[in-house]
Amino acid sequence: MAFLRILPAAVTVSLWLAFLSCTSVLLNAQSPVKQVHQSEPGPWGNLEYYYTYLEAPEQTIRMMSVPSQQTEWKFPGISPDQQAGIYREAGLTEDQIAELMDPQRRIDSPSLLRTFPSSKLLLSLTPQTRSALYHRLGQWKENQFHFRPIVFEQGDIREWFADSGMEPELLQAFEALAWKRDNVLLFSDVPYLLSLVATSEEHTTLLRGLTRTRTMILRLKLSPESDVDVLSEYWTGGHKHQDILPLLESIIRTEGVERLDVAHLLPPLPRKHLYAFPSPVDGLQGQFPGGFWTSVNFFNLIPRHLYGATPELDQTVRSDFIPIQPPFRFGDILFVARQTDRAVMHACVFIADDIVFTKNSADMFSPWILMKMDDMLTHHRKGQSIFLNGWRSRGSVYTDETMNYSPEGTTSGVLQEDAAGAIP
Amino acid sequence: MMDRSQSPCNWSVSIFRSRSDSRNLYVTFPVLGTSVADRKRNAGQRATSLLIRSQIVTPPPLEVDTRLCARARSVAWIWLLCALPSLLSAELKMAEPGPWGQLEYYETVLEPPESHIWPPLYSEETVWFFERMDIAEVLARFAEVELPEEHWRQIPDSSWHLASNGVMLKPPHSLVGALTPEQRSALYPPMMNIAKTTPWVSGFNVEGGSIRDLVGADLPEEIIQRIEQVSFMRGDILSFTDLPWLLSQIPDPALKTKVIRILSRTTAIMARLRVTPDSDLEALADYWSTPGQSNSPLPLLQSAQHDPEGHGTVDLIHLLPVTARQYVYTYLNPEKSVMGVQADCFWAAFNFSQHEVSDRALDNTVRHGFLLRDYAITEKPSRFGDLIILRRVEDLTLLHAWVEIADDLVFTKNGSSLLHPWILMKRENMLSRYSTAEETEMQVFRPITANRIARSN
């Protein structure tokens, strides 16, 4: 009888616990548990990492050039008929095309067709149509949000913005308007998002959220079994003056410390910039550092002002580095080049396994980060076939084994001009 | 302002070990705070010291023994530079919790690279300088410390040099080697504050208080014994200045370089912030924010808080401003010297929060201007980035500057020497290097920024 008396209470408690459990799951969706990943072991040792997100500081956000909330598509150098053809090719319906070709929604000039689609039309595009059209728009630099869209490398918008303070309405809009290229999730409709924010606080939260960049906290695992000589050799990048052996031994001998943040293993300049957004001071030379500046200065204590379109950069690469084949080593420069015309689009620095140190665009809103190589490539592939070429500092002791190697084509074939001008 | 060549930032470094407990390093706040055990042991001497420095602004008090690790004989990696082998096991320590959160740290030892051992350091000529004394007073001083007459009578006349503000003496090696530890303790400390004699006259402190712990198995036993022979106590601090004499005993040039490097080792702190599910991330982000910061610490803290095991950490290097992050645990690049003037404690402190370093901070004529323009005096250090000036009361000469990090952790470069890296270290360890019988005081300066003004309003 006693059992029967307590049964209802037990059921109630069970249901209540089940409810709490569900609630807990929901809360966790807002604050995802950090997942620690293991890299492939190699001469770099055993690395582990977890993802984290960076946001630009207040003073950088205040410098953002915020567009109008009216979406605008630009079609440079084509006729209205060609424009309509692009719409059809992307899969827009005739009604949608008619609305877009309405003179009330466009300003045409001989060199540029400007179209102002309505919010209703934006939301009515199917994912396939949006992806096809935005991919086409992204081939013109004039469409800044399509040319350089937000890239959700891990493909989960809600996880991306967890803890960002972003309103649910905005998250829904992100999901509704996201598009794909090479199976990578992208977003371009920033003006539409601006139309959804009402308060200045929401406005700031949105802008800050737009600067969100995923990176990884990378740690070297050490134990008494670690071969510190091999590790030391790898992480010095082949530079004779560096010796990390004592530091590694220090970690191994310190009870309670089993991991060393890889930031400690970076040279001073990348260590300074890692996880940081550029400041206005970084642009005093007239350009902000990008991938080329970041790569050629990796081992420099004092950076050389070498940006994308300078003959000096080309000269520096040829004089201070030699082309190398995989496997790459710590500190090697990787140039990302287009297959079609072999034009170099980006450069980053190999760290270990499939991890690179990179700055993915030469502006204030792109931080210096550690990134998986595949993720880096999604930023620069843009639907094109690409390939990597490695270059190693002549200061490295590991140059002899590769001195006779000539990369695909010739050195000058890799370091040539592209449509944007001379790059290294 | 003082002449740079006489900057007290070149003073010897210091740390000490308890005689009764050789396994642990006992660090005492040398100016105001002392360990309980040390107060009992040196009550008379310490009381005098406290009386002399009664006007000093009090930093967070150290009420109990601060036991800094069973020695971490390990070395942080220095870019372009070498570090040294670890010798003993180290221990992870917890700092006092505060608005900075819960910090944990361990010690490493840094060693300058061979490229930083500049030629004058190889001098085998000992130079003593007796400031504001004449020869008769020097001889009286010798008598006072009971230096046997046969020792100083063997000094040739050519070794005595009269200067405008004192007497310079180049003693023979036989005299230097014959001094007792007590005589060194009496003669050397006043000279160690004068950097106009030999480059090594500033000497150094034997960090950890044991020569053998410092050098481990890296030097021959004979050399270790000779170092011990000429080491002396400066208060509680085991010190060493007679490098020229020591080098004169070593015929092998490579071993000389090795000896200099090993004796130049510096202990640094590596720290990380522990973030738990209970951590107030907004408060932590607020504390660890600095003017002109290039990224917000909040997302990093959030990621650490999501650690599935509930004990995520953020390495302190990620919370430092970019310039501090670039320089910490590194030695000065000789190429950065400007007409022989090199970055020192003031350069390090003034540039701590700057995105790009300014060598204007090398010019001692503008330091007061920097303080007036960019900082506001505040009562006590309480925020990350507060700049502290140590100055002599008598003439307001600036002796040292550093930046408060958290708890008793500071960011400093202890002198302009190539042998002194930028490091994080315990405040009391740093101050022990600037221990002096003269009356000194500290001033706390807080960077003036729009954000902080708005916050305080």
The per-residue DSSP string of B186-213 comes to: HHHHHHHT-TTS-TTTT-EE-TTS-HHH
Q: Give the nearest partner residue to B296 out of A57, A244, A257, using CB atoms.
A: A57
Which structure tokens are listed for B256? 């000389």
Closest CA to A197 of A217, A229, A230, A167: A167
Q: How would residue A407 be classed by pLDDT, with cut points 50, 70 and 90?
A: very low
CB contact under 8 A, B72 and A57: no
Least confident of A86-95, A360-369, B444-453: B444-453
Q: Which residues of A368-404 are buried (b: 16+ CB within 10 A; e: fewer)?
A: bbbbbbebbbbbbbbeeeeebbbbbbeebebeeebee
Distances (CA, A) of B60 to A370, B98, B345: 38, 12, 21
Contacts B333 to A, Cβ<8 Å: 301
Check whether B47 has a pLDDT greater than 50.
no
User: For residues A24 and B185, which has the higher predicted lDDT (pLDDT)?
Assistant: B185
Number of helical (H) and strand (E) elements in chain B, helices listed first = 17, 19
Distance CA B170, CA B155 (A): 8
Contact between residue A411 and residue A316 where contact means Cβ atoms under 8 Å apart: no
In the beta sheet, which residues pair with residue B27? B66
CB contact under 8 A, A264 and B307: no
Which structure tokens are listed for A225? 């079994």
User: For residues A31 and B151, which has the higher predicted lDDT (pLDDT)?
Assistant: B151
Check whether A316 has a pLDDT greater than 50.
yes
Residue A223: predicted pLDDT? 86
Over chain A, what is the mean pLDDT?
82
Distances (CA, A) of A406 to A186, A324, A412: 37, 8, 11
Distance CA B151, CA B134 (A): 19
Q: Give the nearest partner residue to B77 out of A56, A244, A367, using CB atoms.
A: A244
Relative orientation angle of helices A200-210 and A168-177, to the nearest 10 degrees: 40
Mean pLDDT for the stretch of residues B60-64:
30
Phi, psi of B152 (to 5 degrees): -80, -20
Q: How would residue B348 be classed by pLDDT, with cut points 50, 70 and 90?
A: very high
Among A252-261, B5-14, B346-355, B447-456, the range with the most confident prediction by mean pLDDT is: B346-355
Closest CA to B307 of A50, A164, A21: A50
Mean pLDDT for the stretch of residues A199-222:
91
Contacts B303 to A, Cβ<8 Å: 34, 50-53, 217
Q: How would residue B75 be classed by pLDDT, with cut points 50, 70 and 90?
A: very low
Nearest CA in chain A to B113: A241
Q: Where are the beta strands (DSSP E) in B140-201?
A: 160-163, 166-169
Distance CA A73, CA A115 (A): 5
The residue type of B344 is: D
Burial class (CB in 10 A: 0-12, 13-18, 19+), B210: middle
Nearest CA in chain A to B291: A59
Residue B8: predicted pLDDT? 28
Distance CA B314, CA A217 (A): 9
CB contact under 8 A, A249 and B85: yes
The residue type of B360 is: R
Residue B97: predicted pLDDT? 95
Secondary structure of A179-205 in HEC code, one letter for each residue: EEECCEEEECCHHHHHHHCCCHHHHHH
User: How many CB atoms sit inside 10 A of residue A53's CB?
Assistant: 21
Q: Give the nearest partner residue to B325 out of A265, A267, A271, using CB atoms.
A: A271
On whether any CB of chain B is under 8 Å from the CB of A246, the answer is: yes
Residue A212: predicted pLDDT? 92
Residue A122: predicted pLDDT? 95
Residue B90: predicted pLDDT? 63
Contact between residue A134 and residue A147 where contact means Cβ atoms under 8 Å apart: no
Mean pLDDT for the stretch of residues B249-257:
92
Least confident of A46-50, A368-372, B327-331: B327-331
CA-CA-CA-CA torsion sign (A406, A407, A408, A409): negative
The residue type of A174 is: F
Distance, in angstroms, between B317 CA and closest chain A CA?
A: 8
Residue A152: predicted pLDDT? 94
pLDDT tens digits, one per residue of A96-140: 999 999 999 999 999 999 999 999 999 999 999 999 999 999 999
Residue A35: predicted pLDDT? 84
Q: How would residue A155 be classed by pLDDT, with cut points 50, 70 and 90?
A: confident
- List all residues 6 or more positions away from B450 whose beta carbon is below 8 Å from its beta carbon: none
Residue B19: predicted pLDDT? 34
Q: Scan for tokens 């977003």, then name that residue.
A: A187
SS3 call for B433: coil
Residues 289-318 of A with CB under 8 A from B: 301-302
Distance CA A132, CA A138 (A): 10
Distances (CA, A) of B230 to A306, A343, B180, B375, B434: 53, 66, 8, 44, 21
Q: Where are the beta strands (DSSP E) in A196-343?
A: 213-221, 254-255, 259-261, 321-324, 333-338
What does DSSP say about strands B90-91 and A254-255: parallel, antiparallel, or unpaired? Answer: parallel
Closest CA to A290 of A359, A356, A349, A376: A359
Closest CA to A218 of A269, A256, A271: A271
Contacts A163 to B, Cβ<8 Å: 299, 302
Residue B212: predicted pLDDT? 82
For the question of whether the overall pTM of this predicted structure is more than 0.90, the answer is: no
Residue B28: predicted pLDDT? 27
Distance CA A35, CA A27 (A): 16
> A-B interface: how many C-beta pairs under 8 angstroms?
174
Preferred mutation among A61, A254, A260 to probe B, highest tally of B CBs within 10 A: A254
CB contact under 8 A, B323 and A272: yes
Distances (CA, A) of A42 to A351, B19, B213: 12, 47, 35
Check whether B217 has a pLDDT greater than 80.
no
Distance CA A205, CA A201 (A): 6
* CA angle B124–B130–B134, rounded 5-degree value: 125
Residue A397: predicted pLDDT? 62
On whether any CB of chain B is under 8 Å from the CB of A27, the answer is: no
Number of helical (H) and strand (E) elements in chain A, helices listed first = 18, 19
Distance, in angstroms, between B110 CA and closest chain A CA?
A: 9
Q: Give the nearest partner residue to A32 out of B72, B295, B306, using CB atoms.
A: B306
Residue A238: predicted pLDDT? 66
Residue A354: predicted pLDDT? 94
Distance CA B404, CA B388 (A): 7
Residues 337-376 of A with CB under 8 A from B: 367
Secondary structure of A108-171 in HEC code, one letter for each residue: ECCCEEEECCCHHHHHHCCHHHHHHHHHHHCCCCCCHHHHCCEEECCCCHHHHCCCCCCCHHHH
pLDDT tens digits, one per residue of A120-132: 999 999 999 999 9
Q: Give the nearest partner residue to A254 out of B90, B293, B303, using CB atoms.
A: B90
Contacts B292 to A, Cβ<8 Å: 59, 279
Element spanning A74, H or E: strand A73-76
The per-residue DSSP string of B54-110 comes to: TTSPP-S---S-EEEEE--------TTS-B----S-EE-EEPPPBTTBEEEEEEEEE
User: For residues A422 and B398, which has the higher predicted lDDT (pLDDT)?
Assistant: B398
Residues 92-121 of A with CB under 8 A from B: none
In whole angstroms, what separates CA B302 from the centre of its chain?
Answer: 35
Residue B338: predicted pLDDT? 66
Contact between residue A248 and residue B83 where contact means Cβ atoms under 8 Å apart: no
Mean pLDDT for the stretch of residues B429-454:
74
Q: Give the nearest partner residue to B302 out of A56, A163, A243, using CB atoms.
A: A163
Over chain B, what is the mean pLDDT?
73
Preferred mutation among B69, B105, B306, B424 to probe A, highest tally of A CBs within 10 A: B306
Distance CA A47, CA B425 (A): 28
Contacts A395 to B, Cβ<8 Å: none
* CA angle B359–B360–B363, rounded 5-degree value: 110
Distance CA A366, CA A214 (A): 11
User: For residues A330 and B420, which has the higher predicted lDDT (pLDDT)?
Assistant: A330
Half-sphere exposure of A238 (CA within 13 A, CB side): 17
Nearest CA in chain A to B76: A247
pLDDT tens digits, one per residue of B276-330: 888 999 999 999 987 666 677 888 888 888 776 656 899 999 999 988 998 898 8
Mean pLDDT for the stretch of residues A208-237:
88
Least confident of B20-29, B126-135, B173-182: B20-29
Least confident of A28-32, A46-50, B88-92, B383-387: A28-32
